């Protein structure tokens, strides 16, 4: 009985110390510039310093597109500029190929198929759903934005990824 009590207390303390392990998640509705729903993104904690994104989208232009976490929890159409710049709590430059590091909100490009659909899951390291500065819930939330073109992974501040064509607010 003592072992079970100590195990339960230990597990509880671990979940308090590392909220990443507690299963935090949120579903984000994604809308295009006309306000039409074009899919969802399930954002969930994936380890201590990463989130998993399960993306399901439709009715988008086929091809490769940049996707980023942006700093403001706003998605005012038609240009979604209200989402602000990329989520960047460390003040780094843009792009995975940048020798000075990359924004925490930078993600790998996604590919939309010929029917305008994509269904994929990927991990993004350096961001959390906890209570720290790297939390996507900081500042009252953030946004996830899909761009018109592919990110070149080097050009600051946004990788020449073009217009913002899809946006969704990430909040608790």
Look up residue 144 and give its DSSP letter. Answer: E
**5 is a domain residue:** no
Domain assignment of residue 112, given as a range: 24-170
Asked whether residue 6 carries a pLDDT value surpassing 50, the answer given is no
- What does the pLDDT read at residue 4? 37
**1 is a domain residue:** no
Q: What is the pLDDT of residues 89-121, one digit of tens each?
A: 988 877 777 877 788 888 999 999 999 999 999
19 CB neighbour count, 10 Å cutoff: 17
Contact present, 109 and 65 (Cβ < 8 Å) = yes
142 CB neighbour count, 10 Å cutoff: 30
**98 is a domain residue:** yes
Which residues have CB under 8 Å from 3's CB, separation 6+? none
Asked whether residue 1 carries a pLDDT value surpassing 90, the answer given is no
Contact present, 104 and 134 (Cβ < 8 Å) = yes
- What does the pLDDT read at residue 39? 98
Q: What is the pLDDT of residues 16-36, one digit of tens each?
A: 344 444 468 999 999 999 999
Number of domains within the chain? 1
- What does the pLDDT read at residue 159? 74
Q: What is the pTM of this model?
A: 0.84
**128 is a domain residue:** yes
* CATH code for the domain in which residue 113 is found: 2.60.40.200
Which residues does the annotation mark as catalytic? Answer: 68, 70, 86, 94, 103, 106, 147, 164
**3 is a domain residue:** no
Q: What is the pLDDT of residues 124-147, one digit of tens each?
A: 999 999 989 999 999 899 999 999
Which residues have CB under 8 Å from 150's CB, separation 6+? 63, 64, 65, 66, 109, 161
Minimum mean pLDDT range among 71-80, 95-104, 108-117, 148-157:
95-104
Please indicate whether residue 9 or residue 2 has the higher confidence score (pLDDT).
2
- What does the pLDDT read at residue 23? 65
Q: What is the pLDDT of residues 37-59, one digit of tens each?
A: 999 999 999 888 899 999 999 99
**4 is a domain residue:** no
């Amino acid at each position: 009985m003592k072992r079970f009590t100590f195990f339960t207390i230990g597990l509880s303390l671990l979940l308090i110390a590392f909220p990443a392990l507690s299963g935090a998640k949120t579903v984000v509705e994604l809308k295009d510039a006309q306000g039409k729903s074009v899919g969802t993104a399930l954002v969930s904690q994936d380890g201590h310093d990463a989130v998993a994104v399960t993306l399901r989208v439709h009715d988008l232009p086929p091809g490769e597109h940049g996707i980023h976490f942006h700093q403001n929890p706003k998605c005012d159409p038609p240009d979604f500029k209200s989402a602000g710049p990329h989520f960047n709590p460390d003040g780094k430059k843009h792009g995975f190929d940048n020798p000075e590091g990359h924004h925490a909100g930078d993600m790998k490009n996604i590919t939309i198929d010929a029917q305008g659909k994509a269904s994929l899951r990927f991990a993004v390291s350096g961001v959390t759903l906890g209570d720290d500065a790297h939390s996507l819930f900081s500042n009252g939330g953030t946004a996830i934005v899909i761009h018109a073109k592919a990110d070149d992974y080097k050009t600051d501040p946004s990788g020449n990824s073009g217009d913002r064509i899809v946006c969704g607010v990430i909040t608790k």
